[in-house]
Amino acid sequence: MSSMYIHIPFCLTRCRYCDFFSTTADATERDNYVALLVRHLELLKYNIATNTDLQTIYFGGGTPSLLTIDQLELLLRTCSKVFGIAANAEITIEVNPGTFERPYLHQLHTIGFNRLSIGIQSFDSGQLLRLGRCHTHEQSLESVKAARSAGFDNLSLDLMFALPGQDTDNLDREVDQLLQQTPEHISVYGLTVEEGTEFGRLQRQGKLTVADEEEYAQQYELLRERFCTAGYEHYELSNFAVPGRRCRHNLCYWQRRNCLAVGCGAHSFVENGYGERWHIPADLQRYRQRLEAGLDPAEKLEAFDRTGAMKETVYLALRTSDGIDPSAFERRFGESFHNAFPIATEALAKVLLQSPQRVALGSQHWLIYDHLISTFL
């Protein structure tokens, strides 16, 4: 099983809270970048042995919907030529309302995308403005409608919470609006203010107040309660899906399966030995120079030893409702899960759901996941 992540580090403007690597670029720069991605994909063919077609492809960013249909089609064709794409592959693209016209979504569907992740973030026009998003509430609603009429039956909507001035009442109204769109998948993100962003600067100057720990917890609980009541499975800390519509690409990441990546700033995971993590530095000039010289732009971040791989397996699996399969763990590491982590399993006996088939954290405890998981690390 292999997945491919393609990173598009371009945005129309910078959102005021964002600390991801992204930059603005004109049409020529975007075209040049796509040519580099094609080179990178072709180079991977020689460097990485995969014996199966791609099961998932994910275009993330940044704002991938700034690429033209021709550019996206070229990238999909290259994936197909270099690796092969499984007939039932999940092919996702992140799109931001306000960056495309209606026919664009029809064309995305026609060239093979079957899942859209729409960066709604909020249905409140005032919040969108405060966040520095480049779209309006109306454009968000219009993008969902347009996606449905284009034939997409697998939509993921992003919603932010713990926003400046937000309380549980207005979050509740946001949830109403989101549920009216009947998405198959929902990702939620609590705002964290990062140094180096405009929000960071405003906070330092005392001009921005965000949710405290208690408000954050109340809002997270509200989201859990509302989405689960509406029939969504809370299958990962920040993700909800109707049955059968979990994000296969992200599951691959949480299950530590091959996830290749191209693009400046992207990360990949390769199942060599106990696993390797690679990173492509967020430096467009270096990216270009390396590829033009025929060199792989990725740098190895970590080659896991057995202990590291066991810890990371637990760290990632306990984020999900599937948790750990004890038999698979023992087959992989030659030691039972309980033997490998006797102190942690005893300390967390009250919050771990344990059966011969599964060890998982009850999702009601995910709010303090960081605290709980530290017991294993």
Q: Are 103 and 78 in contact (CB under 8 A)?
A: no
Q: Are 159 and 174 in contact (CB under 8 A)?
A: yes
Nearer CB in complex with ligand SF4: 20/315: 20
- Dist CA 107 CA 73 (whole Å): 10
Which span sits near ligand SF4 by CB under 6 A: 57-65, 301-309, 347-355, 356-364?
57-65
CB of 46 to ligand SF4, least distance (A): 31
Map tokens 């732009």 to a residue. Answer: 297
Please report whether residue 63 would count as binding ligand SF4 according to CB under 6 A.
yes
Q: Binding-site residue total for ligand SF4 (CB under 6 A)?
A: 10
Applying CB under 6 A, among 4, 11, 75, 361 the residue interacting with ligand SF4 is 11
Nearer CB in complex with ligand SF4: 147/317: 147
Pairing outcome for strands 54-61 and 267-270: unpaired
251-290 positions binding ligand SF4, by CB under 6 A = none
Please report whether residue 14 would count as binding ligand SF4 according to CB under 6 A.
yes
- Dist CA 23 CA 6 (whole Å): 16
Please report whether residue 15 would count as binding ligand SF4 according to CB under 6 A.
yes
- Determine the residue type at 268: S
* Residue 187 β-bridge partners: 158, 239
Cis peptide before 62 (omega within 30 of 0): yes
Please report whether residue 20 would count as binding ligand SF4 according to CB under 6 A.
yes
DSSP per position, 4-40: EEEEE-B-SS--TT--S--B---HHHHHHHHHHHHHH
Nearer CB in complex with ligand SF4: 60/275: 60
- Dist CA 161 CA 127 (whole Å): 11
Please report whether residue 18 would count as binding ligand SF4 according to CB under 6 A.
yes
Q: Are 156 and 211 in contact (CB under 8 A)?
A: no
Nearer CB in complex with ligand SF4: 14/288: 14
75-134 positions binding ligand SF4, by CB under 6 A = 96
CA-based torsion, 67, 73, 76, 81: positive or negative: negative
CB of 96 to ligand SF4, least distance (A): 5
Tokens representing residue 65 in the block: 């919907």
Nearer CB in complex with ligand SF4: 62/164: 62
Applying CB under 6 A, among 62, 98, 164, 323 the residue interacting with ligand SF4 is 62
Which residues are near ligand SF4 by CB under 6 A?
11, 14-15, 18, 20, 22, 61-63, 96
